[in-house]
Amino acid sequence: MAAIQHYDVICIGGGSGLTAAYYAQQDGKSVALVDDRPDQLGGTCVNRGCIPTKGLIQAADVMRTIRRAEEFGIHLDQSSVRVDFQAVLDTVRRRREESAASVRRWVEGAFEPWYGRAHFVDDKVLEMEDGRQLSAERIFIAAGARPLIPPIDGLEEAGFLTNESVIFDLDEQPEHLIVLGGGYIGCEFAHFFSALGTRVTVIDNSPCLLGEDDEVRTLFTQEFGKQVELLLPAQASEAVVREGQRGFIVSTEDGERTVLGDQILVATGRRPNTDGLALEKTGVELNDRGFVVVDEGLRTTHPDIYAYGDVIGQGMFKHTSSYEGELAYRNAQGAALTVDYSANPHAVFADPQIGAVGLTERDCREKGLDYVVARKDYADVAKGKIVGAPPGFAKLLVEKNTDRILGFHMIGPQAADLIHEVVVAMNASGATAELVRRSIHVHPTLSELVRQVFDDTA
């Protein structure tokens, strides 16, 4: 057997693994990057998540704007508006391929890539499919996650799409898409397809979509239900194929019914890519769902192995994994940093759009916090009226006595962008609401909605 090749650092995962790899390379370390998808370097974000899906969302948002043009005195012949579905997908595919190719060029110039599946055969030794072995002083596991497919009878036989399978390779626009799952992935795809004219049915076992602040998810469900068909709460008990269509037998509060369409999209969560790594050879522990167990410094139960990103099951967002990756690398070099998700923002790119950071009101109650709530509607500010007074609001949670910002939630136009001044304030010393109150905001802008809701807690 060939000698084991040794490195300073091994990063497992060509998506989020690139973060630790980058910092190691900047420090002059020898770096091996292990990934089994050389044609899709950049991971979920570049190939199946953030970048391509937001390209789809951009097309959907343009279409929604066209459909609402008359609200602003712009009269269009709506019957002449035509969707070139393949052109939309071709644009997204081209950008995805260019991004992945750019990442690959960088990887192959900066690191030593090991392409193929790998598993641990000893404490800090990995073996590739072809028998080659490598080891390192420090190892970072950022192998990501993949769609979680529920154990529904008949589902495999019926056939389905996921955000990682052939959803980007469709050769024609579905007439009726059934989305199983009311989380952010399901809702974003439902928004895209419905905006472009597909009939969409969303099935979820909760009475409301998403996992946001209760007021936000209630309004979102109400407004989203005007664009798509919602079956809430509902449980899909069996997948069926009938007369060339596929769908589910669904149990609702009103009884059982069959829902059929020409495509199914399964968006019921994510599972970690830890199976197959043989982590038992290292002493790295997994929880009962298969996610890697880490401490507050992102160290696993092995002192020289760190893990971050989707594989640890915290915030499954690219910006979160980038934050974690740098912190994990710094700690591996002797720092004593602690992860802090209290100001970790997220967004849902649907219609209406959502941006949020920090605790929900439900969280505050469960923690027994003494807090005040302020809420302002888009219609309460001049620019909100100018853009059509859309249903939506900003909601702020502030701790009494300390004025500490606990959480901020927006639903409406540009929500994903507007929350960021609150994110900055929450990361500042003291994180008090006064930091936003005393900041001058341009008039008329939607950012004034942020300022006004903060003024209401003074």
Q: What's the token pair of residue 262?
A: 């020409």
Residue 409 falls in the annotated catalytic set: no
Enter the tokens of residue 453: 């809701």
State how far the Cα of 368 lies from the Cα of 87, in Å rounded to an integer.
Answer: 52
Q: Which of 119, 191, 319, 443 is catalytic?
A: 443
The H or E element that residue 266 is part of is strand 263-266
Ramachandran assignment for 194, one of left (phi > 0), alpha (psi -120 to 50 degrees), beta (any other): alpha
Q: What is the C-alpha end-to-end distance of the chain, expressed in Å?
A: 71
The tokens of 98 are what?
Answer: 């260019």
Query: Is 36 within 8 Å of 117 (Cβ atoms)?
Result: yes
What are the residue ranges of helices labelled H in 283-355? 318-332
* Closest listed residue to residue 324, CA positions, set 340, 335, 308: 308
SS3 279: helix
Q: How far apart are alpha carbons 413 and 416 in whole angstroms?
A: 8
- Is the distance from CB of 405 to CB of 431 less than 8 angstroms? yes
Catalytic residue numbers read: 443
